[in-house]
A and B are shown apart, each in its own frame.
Chain A
Amino acid sequence: MTFRITELRWQVSPEFTLAVPSLTLPAERTTAILGRSASGKSTLLSLLGRVEGSYFERPESLSGSIVFDELELLALSERELLQRKLRGQTIGFVFQREGLFPGRSARDNITWPLTALGLSPSEAAARADQALADVGLPADKNVATLSGGERKRLAIARAIAPSPRVLLLDEPLTGLDPEALQGLRDLLQRLASGRTLVMVTHQREDVEQLADHLVFMDHGRVTRAGPRAELGDTLTRFFAGQAITDSHPEVP
């Protein structure tokens, strides 16, 4: 379940281009993507999960390759992605804006996609209840009544309910109270066993407890990447407020 990125380039706007000449995210490891705001972390994550751009239009300026499990992700159309059920079943995604379905209960937010993936209603309900119990959220609460932290927890529960082998997490633990924070960090640590996790985060504790591998980004470029054990100094500099900009000066 390795992601291998080569010559990836996407001009998102006239002011911002994501350019990743080469990057490998190791299988069954937790990778933390770090960088200042608007450095391209969430954009890169959206490409890994193939939820970039809008529903109807594939971005014209997008080029390059992302190989996942011997599969060229960028070559797949929306329809092919849907038919393969790659998203949801194999790759789970937790969004920064949770994207919960309003007017539904917490349980229904999970069972709806599960039944679409082919589970029976009873099996979907059982999985939903288990996932909600894992994140400590009551099943019957309506989405409209959830607090910010509870919304995050529901988003995590929805992503983990199909038991995906890969989890892409965009700032999953922001806005949580300290007690919930530690509980969910422990949960993610348990989930990381045997899975590939890729997480965008700004929190040092997330990196220290969860990450084995680090990717630093700046202005749409990957500036450093490698095992956390080898990037201790860079990590210290990053959390001391220094920009990590010196790795790929040759990127156009």
Chain B
Amino acid sequence: MALVLGRSCRAGLCMRPSDFLVQLGAVALSALPLVGIAALFAGMVIALTSSLQLAKLGQAPLVADIVAVSLVQELAPIFTALIMAGKAGAGLASELGMVTLSGQAQAMRALSLDIDRELIAPRVWACIWGTVLLTIAAMFMGLIGGMLLGGAKLGLSPVHYMNRMIGALEPQHFAAGLIKSFGFGALIAAYGVRFGLRDKSDAAALGRHTMSAVVVALFTVLVADYVFTSFIVAAFA
């Protein structure tokens, strides 16, 4: 994994911006509707479940605070990462797997084409920044979802809800969420590339490697989330 990320950093300096933008469009735009809808409903579900408990304590307006902090710091990054692991991770592993299986990767080596620059760096950086951008979109959509639910079920006015949200959110919540999403994107990309460019002889191996890229990325993202969160909690305790 470190090998892939190290090479991406080095080759990232000389990759063509157009290659990166093409990959970013493919990764981020294609996942945007899915991430947006998932985040919207996640925001609504958190607002709904937390409002039931808070109403018993007479603290229903705190819903806005809970939805805002939990979405921005935790749920939006992890939701987006899980969707990206299934979508972008599988896409990377299968695309690069076909490049390997069809002999293109071998031909590129034989022609002195820099695989790091031509294939790996644009995809890795697109996956990382795509995850960050989609996390921002997920935060936004999740907050809207919470606000819609707060208005419809709890009778909270949008202005009141937004004021509470703004009061609850601090810069470190955004920083924590975005740093996590950057790390998650790096993990997903590294495993996608690593498994994609493994030597493979048939379609069955391509399928196995693609599945492994997704499973390993999902597992690693969840473990990394715990580690990141522990650091953040320790830092702000």
Asked if A pairs with B, the answer is: yes
- Residues on A close to B: CB < 8 A? 46, 49-51, 53-57, 78, 81-82, 85-89, 91-93, 95, 97-102, 112-113, 116-117, 158
By the criterion CB–CB under 8 Å, are B110 and A53 in contact?
A: no
B107 contacts across to A, CB distance below 8 A: 93, 95, 98-101
- By the criterion CB–CB under 8 Å, are A88 and B197 in contact? no
Q: Chain B contacts of A89 at CB under 8 A? A: 112
Known: A49-B110, A82-B114, A112-B113. A99 touches B102 (CB 8 A): yes
Task: Please encode chain B, from 95 to 137, with 1 for each CB lying within 8 Å of some chain A CB and 0 for all others.
Answer: 0000010111111111111110000000000000000000000
Of listed B4, B106, B108, B112, residue having the most chain A CB within 10 A: B112
| Any A CB within 8 A of the CB of B198 | yes
Total A-B contacts with CB atoms under 8 angstroms apart = 79
* CB contact under 8 A between A56 and B109, given known A98-B103, A99-B103, A101-B104: no
Residue numbers in B under 8 Å from A112 (CB-CB): 113
A99: contacting residue among B106, B114, B199, CB under 8 A: B106
B57 on the A face (CB < 8 A): no
List 15 contacting pairs A-B, 8 Å CB cutoff, sorted by A: A46-B106, A49-B110, A51-B110, A54-B105, A55-B100, A81-B109, A88-B111, A95-B107, A97-B103, A99-B103, A99-B106, A99-B108, A100-B104, A100-B107, A116-B114
User: Are the CB atoms of A87 and B106 closer together than 8 Å?
Assistant: no
Interface string of B1-34 (1 = CB under 8 A from A): 0011000000000000000000000000000000
A55 with B115, Cβ < 8 A, contacts A97-B103, A99-B103 known: yes
B87 interfacial contact with A, CB 8 Å: no
B117 to chain A, nearest CB (A): 9
CB contacts (< 8 Å) of B164 on chain A: these are none
Nearest to B193 among chain A residues (CB) is: A56
A87 & B197 in contact (Cβ 8 Å cutoff): no
A56 and B112 contact, CB distance less than 8 A? no
Residue pair B111, A53 in contact (C-beta under 8 Å): no
A56 touches B197 (CB 8 A): yes
Q: Verify A88–B103 contact, CB threshold 8 A.
A: no
Q: Which of A55, A57, A82, A117 has the most CB of B within 10 A?
A: A55
B interface residues with partner A (beta carbon < 8 Å): 3-4, 100, 102-115, 194, 197-199
Give bound CA distance, A117 to B113, whole Å: 8
A46 to B105 Cα, complex, angstroms:
13
CA distance A162 to B219 in the complex (A): 46
Cβ contact within 8 Å between B106 and A95: yes
Question: Is the Cβ of A85 less than 8 Å from the Cβ of B110?
Answer: no
Asked whether B198 lies within 8 Å of A54 as measured between CB atoms, the reply is: yes
Tell which of A55, A98, A117, A158 touches B109, judged by Cβ atoms closer than 8 Å.
A55
Complex: A113 Cα to B109 Cα, angstroms: 10
Contact B103–A95 (Cβ < 8 Å): yes
| A54 x B197 contact (CB < 8 A) | yes
Chain A residues with CB under 8 Å of B114's CB are 82, 116
A46 to B106, CA, bound (A): 9
Cβ contact within 8 Å between A87 and B109: yes
Chain A residues within 8 Å of B199, by CB: 53-54, 57
Residues of B within 8 A of A49 (CB): 110
Residues of A within 8 A of B194 (CB): 56
Q: How far is the CA of A247 from the CA of B110 in the complex (A)?
A: 32
Nearest 9 A-B pairs (CB), nearest first? Answer: A99-B107, A99-B103, A54-B199, A113-B111, A97-B103, A93-B110, A88-B112, A88-B111, A51-B109
Q: Is the CB of B103 within 8 A of A113?
A: no
Q: How far is the CA of A201 from the CA of B102 in the complex (A)?
A: 21
- Residues on A with beta carbons closer than 8 Å to the beta carbon of B112: 81-82, 85-89, 113, 116-117
In the complex the two chains form, what is the Cα distance from A77 to B100 in whole Å?
19
Residues in B whose Cβ lies below 8 Å from that of A102:
102, 104
Residue in A closest to B4 when the chains form the complex, CB atoms: A56
Contact assessment for B111 and A87 in the assembled complex, using a CB-CB cutoff below 8 Å: yes
The complex places the Cα of A100 from the Cα of B106 at a distance, in Å, of 10
